[in-house]
Structure 1
Amino acid sequence: MRDSHYTIRTATTADLDGARAVMLDTVYRDFGTGYVPRWHGDIIDLGGAYVTPARHTLLVAVDGRDGEVVATGALDSRGPAHPPNPAHVAEKYPSGLTAQLRRVYVRPEHRRRGLARRLVDELLAFAAADGGYRAVYLHTDPAVSGAEPFWRSLAKIVHDEREDAGGGQGIVHFDVPMP
């Protein structure tokens, strides 16, 4: 179901607190980890991570009924680092040439309305318009309800750490087709 009362747009400075709240609520509620600086430092400095740098962006979905930020999606030019990611994944997706999708989160009460897909479509359009990206990458934690099936519907798995000896971090790595 797609609701027309949502607006997807590039985040402004006025949106950053709302976007941060969506992200922090997600890492506490859905990930169960809470805020971990080495994994979530970008959430605290959204401007420095996504707004200011060229070739990066932060999108928000805003509910037109009350102006609340209800979903987020970000993209940056940093490929996956090794460690903690497998070396072959980091080599395949080098920084500068890889658009990495990040922080595609939707508040639970606004899910199943097409917001995540709309955010991803806009992020992919941003990556294509940049002209310098040769691949789009993301990783997800399959323990988060709905995350793995959503990404499987849009992307191709390039590595599933659950199949590694010892299970790795349990993360699933995806290649997203460029538009």
Structure 2
Amino acid sequence: MQVRCYCIRPAGHDDLDGARAVMLDTVYRDFGTGYVPRWHGDIVDPAAAYLTPVRHTLLVALDGVGGEVVGTAALDSRGPAHPPNPRQVAERFPSGGTAQLRRVYVRPEHRRRGLARRLVAELLAFAAADGGYRSVYLHTDPAVEGAEGFWRSLGKVVHDEREDPDGGQRIIHFEVPLPSLTP
């Protein structure tokens, strides 16, 4: 197996086409939904969603061999909305005080190398440095291979919609510990 090195950094405008390609490939291939405007508007305009707002960020992972974007991870200050998310989840994670992790995607041929974990660690450091976030939230689709186990290794489940009487959206909602800046 070839050893690769990766560079993780905040996305710049030159990275947006590559980041958008990773995100779109993921929603089509892994999620099977394709692009759905009400869920994926940030993918079309990542600059407005993540680069312009001060408390938001988009990270990219670049392959050290070819320099192309092979992974993404984003954070914004919008809590989960109700609907479509359960009311108790939306109330627990209000906008402004919640750092929501989004678009943690790695191209299949670059998975299982610790990239997603490194991307999340950088997002958590960003959230902690902001000083205004009180919690970190994300949701995942357990039908995506490896997603549920990965997030369970980093956070705790606060609501599993598969256990709802109607099955909800069949997604799992997580809280990830916000790191402390003090040792």
- TM-score band, normalised by the shorter chain? over 0.9
Task: Give the corresponding residue for 2:126.
Answer: 126
Which letter maps to 1:60? V
Hey, what's the Cα distance between the residues in 2 that align with 1:37 and 1:171?
19
What's the CA shift string for 1:41-75, capped at 9, x where partnerless?
A: 10000000000101000000000111100000000
- Following superposition of structure 1 onto structure 2, how do residues 32-71 of structure 1 map, counting pairs within 5 Å? 32-71=32-71
Establish whether residue 135 from structure 1 lines up as the match of residue 124 from structure 2: no
Hey, what's the Cα distance between the residues in 2 that align with 1:87 and 1:173?
12
**Alignment gaps of 5+ in structure 2:** none
Which letter maps to 2:14? A
**Alignment gaps of 5+ in structure 1:** none
Hey, what's the Cα distance between the residues in 2 that align with 1:101 and 1:57?
10
Hey, what's the Cα distance between the residues in 2 that align with 1:17 and 1:147?
24
Task: Give the corresponding residue for 2:18.
Answer: 18
Contact 2:99 2:127 in 1 (8 A): yes
TM-score calculated relative to the size of structure 1: 0.98
Matched residues, number: 178
Which letter maps to 2:112? R
Which letter maps to 2:34? G
- CA-CA distance at 1:93 after TM superposition: 0.2
Hey, what's the Cα distance between the residues in 2 that align with 1:54 and 1:86?
28
Task: Give the corresponding residue for 1:72.
Answer: 72
Task: Give the corresponding residue for 2:147.
Answer: 147
- Following superposition of structure 1 onto structure 2, how do residues 94-105 of structure 1 map, counting pairs within 5 Å? 94-105=94-105
When the two chains are superposed, the root-mean-square deviation of aligned CA atoms in Å is: 1.0
TM-score calculated relative to the size of structure 2: 0.96
Which letter maps to 1:59? L
- CA-CA distance at 1:4 after TM superposition: 5.6
Q: Secondary structure at the match of 1:167?
A: coil
- CA-CA distance at 1:174 after TM superposition: 0.1
- CA-CA distance at 1:102 after TM superposition: 0.1
What's the CA shift string for 1:129-172, capped at 9, x where partnerless?
A: 00000000000000000000000000000000000011000010
Hey, what's the Cα distance between the residues in 1 that align with 2:10 and 2:45?
16
Hey, what's the Cα distance between the residues in 2 that align with 1:20 and 1:86?
29
Hey, what's the Cα distance between the residues in 2 that align with 1:44 and 1:99?
21
What's the CA shift string for 1:60-116, capped at 9, x where partnerless?
A: 000011110000000000000000000000000000000000000000000000000
Q: Secondary structure at the match of 2:150?
A: helix
Q: Secondary structure at the match of 1:162?
A: helix
Q: Secondary structure at the match of 2:28?
A: helix
Which letter maps to 1:178? L
Which letter maps to 2:156? K
Share of identical aligned residues, percent? 80
Which letter maps to 1:125? A
Q: Secondary structure at the match of 1:166?
A: coil
Contact 2:4 2:63 in 1 (8 A): no
Hey, what's the Cα distance between the residues in 2 that align with 1:14 and 1:113?
25
Q: Secondary structure at the match of 1:154?
A: coil
